[in-house]
A and B are shown apart, each in its own frame.
Chain A
Amino acid sequence: MNQESFSQIFINAALVNNFVLAYFLGICPFLGVSGKINTAGKMGGAVTFVMLISSMCAYGIHAFLEAIDAPFLQLISYIVVIASTVQLVEMFVKKMSPALFQALGIFLPLITTNCAILGLALFQTNKGYDFFQSVTYAFGAGTGFTLALLLMAGLREQLDFAEVPKVIRGTVLTLVAAGILSLAFMGFSGLGS
């Protein structure tokens, strides 16, 4: 069993080992949805929610699979749970806020194939976290993802007004900005250990 305290886990997941900038998880929505601060924040919220639910489910599934001695089913059951959770969130968002549903577009169902969520479930299993540690980890990871998305959106809104050569516009410019952001996050290393 892992002995890390809750604050350690949270700071670690949100800042030091930020899922997007240190582990490269969830790059697709990071590059795709980070155009506007507003959408980025809501996307972050949706991802955090799915992370919390799937982290709880993953904990239960892991315990069950240990009990019946079938670890090879782990990956398949995790992905099914995540896919169902995403479906649930999608229906919820569509009902509550059609405008947000429009804004997130294809990236909402694509949360299923967001590596950050499956990665979270796998990492918490590997690290041997107990239930409350897992939930803290999920919350930290979600916060970190939202933070990275918001920072990136802020940068990109500014970059829209910058005069850059045509060849660099688009993905190249975004990647360079992400690299610089990743460098900045390296400053957090050593924190919370």
Chain B
Amino acid sequence: MNNEITKATAPNTTDEFIKGLWKENPVFVQVLGMCPVLAVSNTAVNALAMGLATAFVLIMSNSLVSMLRNFIPKEVRIASYILIIATFVTMIDYAIQAISVDLHKNLGAFISLIVVNCLILSRAEAFASKNTLTKSIMDALGMGLGFTLGLVSLGMVREILGSGSIFGIAILPDTFQEWVIMILPAGGFFTLAAWLLVFNLYKQKRNAL
């Protein structure tokens, strides 16, 4: 490894990683791929599994798109990206079914629906098709982890308030009256709104300084 090259590119690639986690977080800042975020975040476990599955597809598709970026004709690029994504989603769909049938049942059609997650297509189009393999993988890692982080933080709030437990382990005393609404669809909208509000307040405070 040439040390000078590593030094020159290192801050760049780390930046690509960090920006997905925080500055351009797909859930809280970009508000992309909302359908799975709202639908499967009713428990923390579902949210984590969904986040990791999406991250896997994102990393694989980003690296393949980046490797093939000079071969794919411009006119059919979106169609090619979708085909690449669909292939990896089929793979993860069968993999999850093999690992845990219960989990597959809980997530339902939403694993297949990773295909149409705008986040993955937008990363392929906006980033991987223009950047080198290493950068694209770092970008996908950051975005994927950022997405997982968003999903889990939503899932934890909904699970704690909705069933008094976290990752399936009861943490609140029996006397706690569960907020059933948090498990229901409406709870998803409200929780996401609350998180976005927190982020907006934080941003406003920082801009005021």
By a beta-carbon cutoff of 8 Å, the part of chain A in contact with chain B is: 21-28, 31, 72, 75-76, 79-80, 83, 109-110, 112-115, 117-119, 122-123, 126, 166-168, 171-172, 175-176, 178-180, 182-183, 186
Contact = CB atoms under 8 A, between A and B. Distances in A.
Q: State the main secondary structure of chain A at its contact with B.
A: helix
B113 to A, nearest CB: 5
Contacts of B82: 79-80, 83, 112
A186 B83 contact: no
A171 B37 CA distance: 15
21 contacts: A24-B34, A25-B113, A27-B38, A75-B90, A83-B78, A109-B78, A113-B117, A115-B113, A115-B117, A118-B116, A166-B204, A168-B200, A171-B196, A172-B193, A172-B196, A175-B192, A175-B196, A179-B189, A179-B193, A183-B181, A183-B186
A122 B113 CA distance: 9
B152 interface: no
A117 B82 CA distance: 15
B67 interface: no
Q: State the main secondary structure of chain B at its contact with A.
A: helix
A182 B117 CA distance: 22
B153 interface: no
B193 A175 contact: yes
Contact of B94 (A31, A72, A79, A80): A72
A75 B112 CA distance: 7
B173 to A, nearest CB: 28
Contacts of B185: 21-24, 182, 186
A88 to B, nearest CB: 14
A111 to B, nearest CB: 10
B86 A182 contact: no
B186 A119 contact: no
B118 A113 contact: yes
A88 B7 CA distance: 50
Given A75-B112, A119-B109, A182-B189, A172 B83 contact: no
